């Protein structure tokens, strides 16, 4: 899979069978669409592409939203889908102010050489979202590209959507979120050096710097794989009001593991929330709470 981050000087020579959208989470509905696009490209002897935005429009306009996937994880999933191109459109003032006409003609047709386009039934684009499925139909009817409209996908009679997955995560319903995603909800990143405070009080942690828009906050039961072996852990996600209170971190105390992980990129599945973040009076109260958190996590995992 080739990744295109800048379309300013791009002039795609290959004919492209594409889908466009936020594709936040790449959930079960997204996966079905991507699979169809890949197959359609093979049938039409074209290249397949997923066109998306960075940052996502919802993140740009509504600061309380959060992305379900890091861009690294999104790329990892897409590489497994056998799609030929991932095209990242920078969601900036330039794109926001672009008319629907310019977006279709300058980007989709001229730069990306779209021959077939698949969109969701509620896809909108262009200045003040004046472009929609009906607008795209006009170009399809004139022969610029073929247009395929995907209706909503459901699971257990409920629409699969990124919004529903976000709500489930914030409501501590990780089972539902994982079912809609088709995999566990997780966070990932490179393990970095922390301030070693966990080690000094008997609870060493693996630390990852997260973007604040993850919007998870509290203590969670999590799991991860190290050298293909599954490990369980308790993790603090968010700010640390007892100490600095400014850094947004993921700190996981992994059970029965003591080796160094610095520099490793790791992924942690979020299983269940144990409690909210709180400020402690001092180290002893913090240690007492961590012991309770570990006990709660082990009960969730049915560990002795």
3-state class of 133 per DSSP?
A: helix
Q: Distance between CA 180 and CA 257 in Å, rounded?
A: 31
pLDDT in tens, 239-298: 766 666 567 789 999 999 988 898 999 999 999 999 998 888 778 888 899 999 999 999
DSSP 8-class letter at 16: E
pLDDT value, residue 86: 96
pLDDT in tens, 129-170: 899 999 999 999 999 999 999 988 999 999 999 999 999 998
pTM: 0.88
- Token duo for residue 21: 């959208």
Q: Distance between CA 147 and CA 140 in Å, rounded?
A: 6
* DSSP character string of 43-105: HHT-EEEEEEEES-HHHHH-TT---SS-HHHHHHHHHTTT-SEEEEEE-SHHHHT--HHHIII
Per mean pLDDT, which range of 72-76, 197-201, 296-300 is the poorest?
197-201
User: Under CATH, which architecture does the 2-159 domain have?
Assistant: 3-Layer(aba) Sandwich (3.40)
pLDDT value, residue 236: 92
User: Under CATH, which architecture does the 184-300 domain have?
Assistant: Beta Barrel (2.40)
Contact call for residues 138 and 144 (beta carbons, < 8 A): no
Query: Domain-by-domain residue ranges, the chain?
Result: 2-159, 184-300
């Amino acid at each position: 899979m080739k990744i295109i981050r800048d379309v300013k000087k791009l002039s795609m020579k290959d004919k492209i069978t594409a889908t466009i959208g936020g594709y936040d989470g790449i959930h079960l509905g997204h996966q079905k669409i991507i699979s169809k696009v890949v197959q359609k490209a093979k049938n039409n002897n074209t290249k397949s592409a997923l066109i998306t935005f960075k940052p996502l429009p919802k993140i740009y306009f509504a600061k309380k939203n959060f992305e379900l996937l890091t861009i690294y994880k999104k790329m990892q999933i897409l590489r497994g889908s056998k799609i030929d191109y991932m095209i990242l459109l920078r969601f900036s003032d330039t794109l926001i102010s672009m008319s629907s006409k310019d977006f279709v003609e300058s980007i989709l047709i001229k730069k990306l050489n779209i021959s077939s386009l698949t969109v969701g039934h509620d896809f909108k684009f262009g200045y003040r979202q004046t472009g929609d499925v009906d607008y795209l139909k006009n170009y399809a009817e004139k022969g610029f590209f073929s247009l395929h409209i995907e209706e909503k996908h459901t699971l257990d009679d409920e629409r699969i959507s990124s919004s529903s997955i976000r709500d489930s995560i914030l409501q501590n319903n990780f089972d539902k979120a994982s079912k809609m995603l088709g995999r566990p909800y997780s966070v990932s990143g490179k393990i970095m050096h922390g301030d070693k405070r966990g080690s000094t009080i008997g609870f060493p942690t693996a630390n990852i710097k997260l973007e604040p828009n993850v919007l998870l906050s509290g203590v969670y039961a999590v799991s991860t794989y190290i050298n293909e072996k599954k490990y369980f852990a308790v993790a603090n996600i968010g700010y640390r009001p007892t100490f600095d209170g400014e850094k947004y971190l993921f700190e996981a105390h992994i059970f029965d593991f003591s080796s160094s992980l610095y520099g490793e990129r790791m992924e942690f599945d979020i299983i269940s929330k144990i409690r909210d973040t709180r400020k402690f009076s001092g180290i002893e109260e913090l240690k007492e709470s961590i012991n309770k958190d570990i006990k709660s996590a082990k009960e969730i995992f049915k560990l002795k």
